[in-house]
Structure 1
């Protein structure tokens, strides 16, 4: 079988010829820069192929960068969300502490007479009996608390101590039906007795003559009679007066000035008289 391309120089001769031509062209290009223009055209023809060859790598790098950026953004968002929750919790706590601080400032700056000693107490529990308005505070005999001691908030009179244990005490609120307090009208010094109605927002003033000089809005202050509450502390404000001539007395209602439905911090008072009567070890509270 005859081959079509069997004639011609042998392979070693062809290789030698190719090497000779290559060396000659290299020397010619180096000495005379004869292929500069041709090389520019060839590079222009090859450059698209180079871009195509680099395209998969660039796409992979872009995808990897985008994935890393997305993951970083996701992690940063999760961290910022967590930090925001912590900051909100701290903000709520700071708001609560600020409100508590404002309450304590109002309580300590309340118009307490100079000849009285005062101690701040905190509410521990509220009596669940619907027919009795009593609370428990965190001060007791070791703090010098005694039965009958007056208790105030930052607005006015709250009640009096009715039972004392070593570390806590029970307070009878002025709204309790068994409680009564002698008062006087701030406007004209008319003396009255205010009793609890069983409702935290209402007090009853009994045995008021139809001719009594009372007006809606009159402020009632403690009169000091009975040696329980010191004189001059706010008790209630008259809200309604019904003068029915068919009845022997006028029906007078009042609203406590103290916020009996939202008590938190309370003020215990010692008058100069009680300080002199009580042993010194009984009045050393915080």
Structure 2
């Protein structure tokens, strides 16, 4: 009888015990939930910080990747040569109607020298005309005082590409009237004179006029380098001139 009464009392007390335990359990649940939420917020904050750091690192990585891509593009434009390249940025300056040039942020402190070849990803841009400690002036191949020894890539026929002062047109001189030349032919540097290495694209033949009884053909070509929109330039050192002209600085390639 006593066992039955005890069982009945325990059964009746169970709801009361649960009710009494609810605040404690509720506090535990709330505390656990609060702790989990706090931990989650901390993890999110850490992830946000890591994400921001990674974005900053990716910006640097992208910049290096772009520079590497531009260097590779210029290198692939020519025959394999022993050479070094230095990337320079164009500095906006007021133009000179008498001369076509671009100013870059590299100078004698970086080993830049007068006569040095200047390239862009598309091919030859010109050569260094004046050098200061931190800047250099590059005479563009489209300037009417600039001439480049070239050859027709398809045939090997040699000629001279002369600037006209027009960024869209060059004249091809000393090309025999019976030369095998076609519109669209690519002209590349021949290497004669030793200033420009051989194999760099210069221009494409755009027009051929019938020779009027002369010894040379009248040929026009369009420069491949965007001479009217230069933003970055590659300065070139041939391997045998590096030791003499390129100082050991942080800027040197």
Q: What TM-score do the two structures reach when normalised by structure 2?
A: 0.72
Give the conservation status (yes or no) of the 8 Å contact 1:219–1:234.
no
- Larger RCO, structures 1/2 (Cα 8 Å, 6+ apart): 2
What does residue 87 of structure 2 align with? 122
1:266 aligns with 2:235: yes
Which of 198, 211, 236 pairs up with 1:232? 198
Deviates more, 1:45-54 or 1:250-259: 250-259
The residue aligned with 1:254 is 222
Q: Does 2:104 match 1:136?
A: yes
Name structure 1 gaps, 5 residues minimum: 1-33
Tell me, in whole angstroms, the C-alpha distance in 1 between the residues paired with 2:107 and 2:55: 34
1:167-215 Cα shifts (integer Å, max 9, x gaps): 543221213344332322223305243315443xx34225678865321
In 1: Cα distance, 2:206 partner to 2:75 partner? 32
Give runs of aligned pairs for residues 16-27 of structure 1, distance below 5 A. none
CA shift, 1:47, in A, is 1.0
Distance 1:133 1:220, change over 3 A: same
Q: Counterpart in 1 of 2:30? A: 63
The residue correspondences of 1:1-286 to structure 2 (distance < 5 A) are: 35-104=2-71, 111=79, 113=81, 118-130=83-95, 131=97, 132-140=100-108, 143=111, 145-153=112-120, 156-188=123-155, 189-195=157-163, 197-199=165-167, 202-205=168-171, 213-224=180-191, 227=193, 229-230=195-196, 232-238=198-204, 240-241=206-207, 243=209, 250=218, 252-256=220-224, 261-269=230-238, 283-286=245-248
- SS state of the match for residue 232, structure 2? coil
Q: Deviations over 1:59-115 (max 9, x none)?
A: 23322322332232222222212211211221232232233344445667853656x
Per-residue deviation, 1:56 = 2.4
Determine the C-alpha separation between the residues in 1 that align with 2:43 and 2:109: 56
Secondary structure (helix, strand or coil) at the match of 1:123 reads strand
Equivalent position SS for 1:128 = coil
Preserved CA contact (<8 Å) 2:144 2:163: yes
Q: Offset at 1:119?
A: 4.2
Give RMSD over aligned pairs.
3.8
Cα shift at 1:160: 1.2
Give secondary structure in 2 for the equivalent of 1:253: strand
Distance 1:60 1:166 in 2: 74
Q: Which runs of 5+ in 2 are unaligned?
A: 249-253
Summarize the Cα distance change of 1:74–1:45 in structure 2 as closer, same or farther, 3 Å threshold.
Answer: same
C-alpha separation between the residues in 2 aligned to 1:129 and 1:178? 20
Q: Distance in 2 between matches of 1:100 and 1:49?
A: 76
